Every structure is written in structure tokens, then in C-alpha cells.
Chain A
Amino acid sequence: MKVQPSAFIVEKRPLLLQLRDALCAEFDYASILAEDTVGKYYRVSRHSVSADEGDTARGFVVKALDKGRYAEYSFSVLTAEAIPEIVEAVRQLLAADVRPAGLAANTYDPPREEPTVFSGATDYELDPADCSDGEILDRLTALRDRGLAMDGAVLDFVAWMSWQRYTKLFLSREKDMTQSVMYLTGGVTAAAMKDQEVKQAYLPCSGLGGMELMAAMEENVAPCVRTALDLLHSESMIPGTYECICDPETTGMIVHEAFGHGVEMDMFVKDRAQAPQFIGKYVASPLVTMHDGASSARQTATYFFDDEGTLAHDTVVIDKGVLRTGISDLQSALALGTEPTGNGRRESFARKAYTRMTNTWFEPGQDKLEDMIASVKYGMYLQCPSSGMEDPKNWGIQCMVDIAREIKDGKLTGRIFSPVVLTGYVPDLLRSITAMSDGAELSGSGFCGKGHKEWVKVSDGGPYIKATIRLG
């Protein structure tokens, strides 16, 4: 079934068209994004149960260009009476005296727009909104109980699920676009305690759609508990450079944190990225082909158009090791004289649009995982990424993983190190890739920040990879 558009957006559409016309009559360029996002978040642990609204938002943002300068106005209330006030607020904002002496202002041309009328919606099998809260909590409680019952050493077992459904309407002089999207994410976490340290293992699931995606959570209970118990015997990492096999989630974190942020083209505008100097050059092993794009995969960051009315793309960022292009929002493309790639995204209507990743992943290779492990003389099998931080300017890597399993003479020894910090220079790591497995998996249970804020839904992943990495 197709996700139905929000009744609120449908009801406000005539007023939004009036507002669009009033803005376009006044300014050199104007657009409106209307958003209605609903969702719920459920969580069950040993000692706590919750069923709350998830990240929801309802409101509007106007972007206007006058005499070359851009301004944006986000607001919550739209009535016929408010339209002149909104136009006046934008006018005042463009004229606001906020800039001290000595600082200049950037100017832009209006974007070139092709006439576009679009309406699209994603599919689902079972709408979570049609399920009773009690039914959902019962399913999560059953997962929790299974996890807790597996071993007396389990301190806690958490099962959570959230779903989000949004409708966005984008209007400008040339564009009239509507989309409705729904995704579901979930995860299980097992915790175990040794002395004063709590060790945790986490397994996510995610996808476009509805309740049908929860089935994947069932399979994750046992491996999650086993991993948490394994971690009780973990040792501190011995710093050094190792041959590593990365699981698809760790590959995804490397793709996203280590490289993806470095090709966000608002970073090119600010001279905050090394990538522009490497366009057309080898930045990775010839085995590596990297994609980003809302239409490049079917995952939680899939949409039909971005928050600036640019249709979704499938951008090949790295083609067989060669850096081809970055990804871009509209204003950065105007600054750089390039084409936007459908990556202009906002945390919500109340926030600015930046260049943001969507579904970011490496294409699979042709190797078998067991052969890859067998080829390692001494190294580590990396699992359970926990966090990462970008460094586009210097292409430094910071990724944290919870598990490094020792490999000796091609076999896992059972020895585990945790936690582990991956560091190094991004192209060195990507060029060191010597094998990629023959399947790719994407995961979209988390959010991505720009620096330390502006959280948007993303997915990332790829195949198992073999690379040389500095671990600490």
C-alpha cells in the first residue's frame, strides 16, 4: 500500500499556494517547504517501559532571495490572515541590521528551475498506526524476556522500535511537489556487567515500510546476548596497525564518517575539504565504488525530492577507486556553479538546509567472507561500530567500534579487544582495501549530525572489506 499524504498538508495547500504567489510577487526567488511528521517510539527494558511520540514536526519554512541575498523564515502557524505578516517578516529579515562593520554578504543568482509537478509515496504492508500500542509493547516485551532468559549474566536487555511517517510539500514558482514516506527502525541491546564495567552489544534493524520490518528483530536476540557475554572477556586493545576485516556496519561507518562527510559540497564552498583536490584521482583501491543518494537504495534515507525541491539522485562518488564528484545542496551548487544532487536536507522545517548524506554505501565485490578471514595472517575482525566523527579538511579518521576479534593464521581465536578506536588518513585506509565480499547490507537505524547538531536520518553500509587500519 502507498503512504497517504497528511490531511494537514492537504488542508493547508490552498493557503500555501496563496503564500507562494505573494512571496514570488515580492522577491526574486521564493520557495516554501511544508512538513508534517508523525511517529512513535516504544522501548522495553528490564525495569522500564515507554510508549511516546517520536520525533515529530509540523510547520513551514520560506526561503527567499532578494538583491542577491538569501533569508529563511520558519514558522508554525499558517492562516489566510497571517500571509501578509509572513511576507513582511521575510522582508524585515532580508533588511535586518545584524552584520557588524567590516563583514560583507554573499550574493547569489536565483536558481534555474525546470517546471516540475510531482507526487510520490513509498510503500508499506502493515501500518504501525493501525497496531495497538499494547500489541507493539507485547512484541517488544517478548523479545526482552527471551534476551533476559538466555543467561543469568545478562544485566539488561532492551528492545525498541520507532516509526516515522512524513509528508512534505515543496512549492516555488516552477515547482509543485509532494511526497509521503514511512520508515521503521528498531534494535536490541544486551548489557552485562563485569566488576564496575557494563559491556553492551547492539543489533539494529531498519527499512522503508511498516510493521512487517519488525520480524528482523526476532533473529537478533540470541546473537546480541552472545556478543555481550563475549565482551565480558574482552581485553584492552594493543595499539598497532592491523590487517582488518570490517563487517558491513563497520564498513558503513567508514564510508559515512571517514569519506562521506568529506564530499559534502557545502564543505567545498567553505574550503573545508580536501576532496576537491582529488577529483579525477585515485582515492581508494580500484575495488571501491561508492554511492550516495536518496534513490540509490531503498532504506531509511530514501525520498523522492530533497528539502529544496531537487529530485533524488543516485550519485556515484567513487568509481573503481577514482573520486568522481561530491554531493550537494542547492545553495552550495549555486556558489560552486555546479548542479545540486538532491542532498539539501533539514533536521526539520525549523532548521537550515545543509548538504547531507542519504543512503551511502560501497558496492559489493566478489570475495567470500570465509576466504577473506582465511587470508589474514594476524589481524582483527571489527564489529559493532558505536560512533564516528568527520574531518573533511584533513581526512583524519575517528571511528569507534566495540569489538575487535583476533584472527591468527586465518582463524578467529576467540580473543576479543574492546573498545577500539580506528584512526589514520582516509585515502590510506581506502587504498589499502584488498578484498570486498560479494554482498552488501545497509543499515539505517541511526541519525547523522553536521558537526554536533542538525540530526537527519541516514543509512550506510556495504560489503565486508579487508583493509589495513591503525587501531588503538
Chain B
Amino acid sequence: MEKILSALRALGVEQYVITEKHTDSLECFYVKKNLDLTRRADTAVTSVRVFRPFEKDGTKMLGEAEATVRPGMSGAEVRAVLERAWYAAQFVTNPWYPLPAGVKESARPDAGGFAGKPLAESMKAMTEALFAADTAQDVFLNSAELFMRRTATRIITSAGADVGWEKTDVWGEYVCQCPAPVDVETYHQFNYRGPETAALTAAAAHALEMTKARSRAVTAPKTGTYDLVLDREQLRTLLGYYVDRAAASMIYQKYSPFKLGDAVQGENITGDRLTMGLVATEPYTGFGAPMADLPLLDKGVLKAIHGGPRFAHYLGVAPTGEYRAVQVPTGDTPLEQLTAEPCLHAVSFSDFQMDPLSGHFGGELRLGFLHEDGKVIPVTGGSVNGSILDSQGHMRFSRERFSTENYDGPLAVRIGGVAVAGS
């Protein structure tokens, strides 16, 4: 750190953000029930963003550029990479904005459930939890990857920030396979900040059950227009539309028409009015300012614009930092009632996508349940192609709740009139 600060002083850099990150990661890769490879990654990297004020055509500018400082670099090497960034910053012609003030606080120790435990011990517990669901012969875990990660972050800025924190989490992915009657697989991810072994076992059990259902699904739904029920990760992705469109960068650059106080869910709402909050998952912003939860929507009305200091300043709103997680109140309708009328309940896609620019969502259907004529028929194949701009006034949320690392809200939503290309 002293090498960096010394080089910045020598270059005359007065505004900067230094982010130091050290990661220790223990990784296990399984094929069926066999450990195939064990990895450890012990890596460190420091990014230094320099800010250079200047004037162009009478307008005050603030150029910026980033340099990466690697462990083991000599003082001369550090100075050289910072000098290149400082040079580049003079050509970055963005209008001036103030760097937000940071805070000086002692480093926060890991507050999660993995704190203080050796990574190997936590790895063993989470692996055991994952495979605890793998008890059947006809459907099983095909493969799994688990990453136990302990990360220490420190941010120092020219605007007074000196903060640090440590966190440990587990991230992983697994594939479920059901060989008969049709040999199929499904893909799943998980991420926990503590040893939530019961939650992981339950999630894997649900995934295995859905894989079995996919194996029985042999036909695609008929081409047509359906009422669609989306759940879990797909619903989180769908609602990401509002988070993306409420970003200061999107609004300032006119990619999003959202304005504070607007009824962004539309005026003609026959379904549930959407309330949504952004949840801080890190203690500080990238500029070393404390992060707090932020109400985003209240009954369909935009209450906040979020983002970093540059575009926030241009729009005249307060910078908030970057959010990854959302919280949404559940609805009043039980899932059973959401699917009581004819609909396509899509539970798995190959890659469900929501385009915040166009409002279109869709993907290839890997598993759905067609509810019609009192029957529930598993279906697979074909694609869904809808627009949230057409659907958002008629959303009906489930009473049941679903929680992940980046979402806490209704389990499912029902929306009307979505095109499906099928058989």
C-alpha cells in the first residue's frame, strides 16, 4: 500500500480510490459421487482508480482510469502502471463530479456463519448437505462444483475512506440427472453466507424432483398465447427489469425513461402493485461510504434512483453504491390458486433472459407444467417470448416466499398473454 501511495504522491495524483482484495478459495469438483479434483487459489490484486480534473472547451471535466497493481511488483513497476493510468485519464472527457466522502472505520471481521472456521471444515459440511439429497437410484447428482471463498477487502480513497471487511461464502453449481424414461439433466446454482445446510439439502431435493418431472415431459406445449406462471430464479430475473431501469447510468443516458415519482408499473394495473427494496449485501460502496437498504418501488411508483457518484451527480440524486439483492413483499394468492386456471407454469429454462432495454423476456423451456382441463401435464421444449411492458399491469404474486442470496420475495408470479412457440 505504501508503494502505491508513494507513487501517487510522486505523480501528483490528488484523487484516487484504492481497492485491495485478497481471496483464499478452496474448490472441490465432483463427478457423480467421486471427488475429481481439489483446488486452492490464493490470489491478491489491488486496483487503483485515479481521477484527473481538467477543463475542455470551458467545461470542467473529471477523467479517470484504472490500473492493477500485482503482488511482488517493484516500486518502479507500480509507478509505471499508475503513470499509464494517470496519462490515460486526461483523455477521458466526462463532465466533472465530486467523489463521495468515505468513512474511516476499523476493519469489520467476518460476520457470517462461516467466520472463524477452516475452509476445509465448511467445505465438508456443505458438500455433505448437498449430497444428503442424493439418495435415490432413479434421479441423482450428475456432477457438482463447490467454492468456499474467504475474501478480505480494503478500500482507501482520497476522500477520506479507509475501510475493510472480510467475508466468507460458499458458491456452487450442480447438475441433476434422471436417466429414464427420457435421459435428462437440469442445472442449478447456490450461494450462502453461512452454513445453511438444511436450505441446501432442500434446494437440491427440489431440483432432483423437478429433474424427474422433466424426464416425464416429452412434448412441447402447443404454439399459442398462454397465461404464464414464472417462479424462483426466473421471477428474480424478471423483476431485475425494474432494478436495471432505475439505475442512474441508464436514466441519464436515456436508455430508461424512469423518473422519480413515476408510476413505472404503468397506470392501468389490474393485478398486484409492485413494492420492491434494494438490499445492501456489502457494508460499503466502492468509494468506501456505508451502504444501506434502499426502498425502490412503492405500489408501482419509483421511489429511488440508484448508482455510483458520477451518473448520480449528473442527475442530481445521491449516490447509493451498487446493489445485487432485492426484497419484495409476497402477494396474497396461494400458488395453488395461481395455477388453478389454465396456464403454463414454467419452472426451468435453459437460460431465461430479461432485456431491460426492450422489456422483452424469454427463453427455451426445459420444464413446464401445463394446467388445463383439470390436468397437470409436464412439457418441455419450445420457447417463451413476452414483454414486461405488456404484462406488468396484470402480475399476480404468490403468497409463498422464496429466498436466495440475492432475492427474498414471492415464490411465483402469474402474468397473462405470453407467446409460446411450441409443437
Chain A interface (Cβ < 8 Å from any Cβ of B): 45-53, 56, 58-59, 69-79, 89, 93-94, 96-100, 102-106, 132-134, 137, 155-156, 191, 193, 195-200, 236-237, 239-240, 269-272, 331, 350-352, 387-391, 393-394, 396-398, 400, 419-421, 423-424, 451-453, 470-472
Chain B residue nearest to A389 in the complex (CB): B351
Q: Which residues of B contact A49 (CB under 8 A)?
A: 63, 91-94
Q: Contact string, B182-223, partner A, CB cutoff 8 A, digits 1/0? A: 011101010000000000000000000000000000000001
Q: How far is the CA of A421 from the CA of B31 in the complex (A)?
A: 32
Q: How far is the CA of A397 from the CA of B362 in the complex (A)?
A: 14
Pair A76/B185 contact, Cβ less than 8 Å: no
Where chain B touches its partner, the secondary structure class is strand
Q: Contact string, B130-166, partner A, CB cutoff 8 A, digits 1/0? A: 0100000000001100000000000000000000000
Q: Say how far A28's CB is from chain B's closest CB, in angstroms.
A: 15
- Interface segment among B35-43, B99-107, B401-409: the answer is B35-43
Residues 253-302 of B contacting A (Cβ, < 8 Å): 253-255, 257
Q: How far is the CA of A469 from the CA of B43 in the complex (A)?
A: 46
B27 contacts A by Cβ under 8 Å: yes
Q: Which residues of B contact A48 (CB under 8 A)?
A: 94, 253
Q: Contact string, B36-54, partner A, CB cutoff 8 A, digits 1/0? A: 1111111111000000000
What would be 9 A-B contacts, judged by CB atoms less than 8 Å apart?
A49-B93, A71-B40, A73-B41, A93-B38, A106-B34, A197-B358, A331-B36, A400-B362, A472-B420
Pair A196/B257 contact, Cβ less than 8 Å: yes
Total interface residues in chain B, CB < 8 Å: 85
Pair B94/A103 contact, Cβ less than 8 Å: no
Pair A98/B120 contact, Cβ less than 8 Å: yes
Q: Which 10 pairs from chain A and chain B are nearest by CB?
A: A472-B421, A239-B421, A398-B364, A389-B351, A472-B383, A198-B357, A421-B383, A100-B128, A74-B41, A133-B88
Q: Given A74-B43, A76-B44, A77-B72, is A94 in contact with B38 using a C-beta cutoff of 8 Å? A: yes
Contact pick for B350, options A47, A97, A391, CB 8 Å: A391
Q: How far is the CA of A237 from the CA of B420 in the complex (A)?
A: 10
Q: Given A98-B26, A421-B385, is A50 in contact with B40 using a C-beta cutoff of 8 Å? A: no
Pair A196/B389 contact, Cβ less than 8 Å: yes
Q: Given A70-B37, A451-B173, is A100 in contact with B124 using a C-beta cutoff of 8 Å? A: yes
Q: Say how far B298's CB is from chain A's closest CB, in angstroms.
A: 20
Pair B385/A98 contact, Cβ less than 8 Å: no
Q: Say how far A41's CB is from chain B's closest CB, in angstroms.
A: 10
Pair A99/B124 contact, Cβ less than 8 Å: yes
Q: Say how far B183's CB is from chain A's closest CB, in angstroms.
A: 7
Q: How far is the CA of A424 from the CA of B364 in the complex (A)?
A: 9
Pair A200/B357 contact, Cβ less than 8 Å: yes
Pair B43/A76 contact, Cβ less than 8 Å: yes
Chain B residue nearest to A270 in the complex (CB): B143
Pair A72/B37 contact, Cβ less than 8 Å: yes
Q: Which residues of A contact B33 (CB under 8 A)?
A: 102-104
B15 contacts A by Cβ under 8 Å: no
Residue in A56, A98, A388, A453 whose Cβ sees the most chain B Cβ within 10 Å: A98
Q: Which residues of A contact B32 (CB under 8 A)?
A: 270
Chain B interface (Cβ < 8 Å from any Cβ of A): 26-45, 63-68, 70-72, 85, 87-94, 120, 123-124, 127-128, 131, 142-143, 173, 175, 177, 183-185, 187, 189, 223-224, 252-255, 257, 349-351, 353, 355, 357-360, 362-364, 366, 381-385, 387, 389, 419-422
Pair B419/A236 contact, Cβ less than 8 Å: yes
Q: Which residues of B contact A420 (CB under 8 A)?
A: 385
Pair B41/A270 contact, Cβ less than 8 Å: no
Pair A58/B70 contact, Cβ less than 8 Å: yes
Q: Which residues of B contact A472 (CB under 8 A)?
A: 223, 362, 382-385, 419-422
Chain B residue nearest to A40 in the complex (CB): B88
Chain A residue nearest to B349 in the complex (CB): A398
Q: Which residues of A contact B349 (CB under 8 A)?
A: 398
Chain A residue nearest to B245 in the complex (CB): A196
Chain B residue nearest to A236 in the complex (CB): B419
Q: Say how far A417's CB is from chain B's closest CB, in angstroms.
A: 10
Chain A residue nearest to B423 in the complex (CB): A470
Sample of 15 more A-B contacts, CB < 8 Å, known A77-B44, A93-B40, A97-B120: A47-B253, A70-B38, A74-B43, A98-B28, A197-B357, A199-B357, A199-B358, A236-B385, A272-B177, A272-B185, A396-B350, A419-B360, A419-B362, A421-B362, A472-B382
Contact pick for B39, options A46, A236, A352, CB 8 Å: A352
Pair A77/B71 contact, Cβ less than 8 Å: yes
Pair B364/A72 contact, Cβ less than 8 Å: no
Contact pick for A452, options B90, B189, B366, CB 8 Å: B189
Q: How far is the CA of A170 from the CA of B269 in the complex (A)?
A: 62
Q: Say how far A97's CB is from chain B's closest CB, in angstroms.
A: 6
Q: Which residues of A contact B123 (CB under 8 A)?
A: 98
Contact pick for B253, options A46, A73, A102, CB 8 Å: A46
Q: Given A77-B72, A93-B40, A106-B36, is A397 in contact with B364 using a C-beta cutoff of 8 Å? A: yes
Q: How far is the CA of A98 from the CA of B253 in the complex (A)?
A: 49
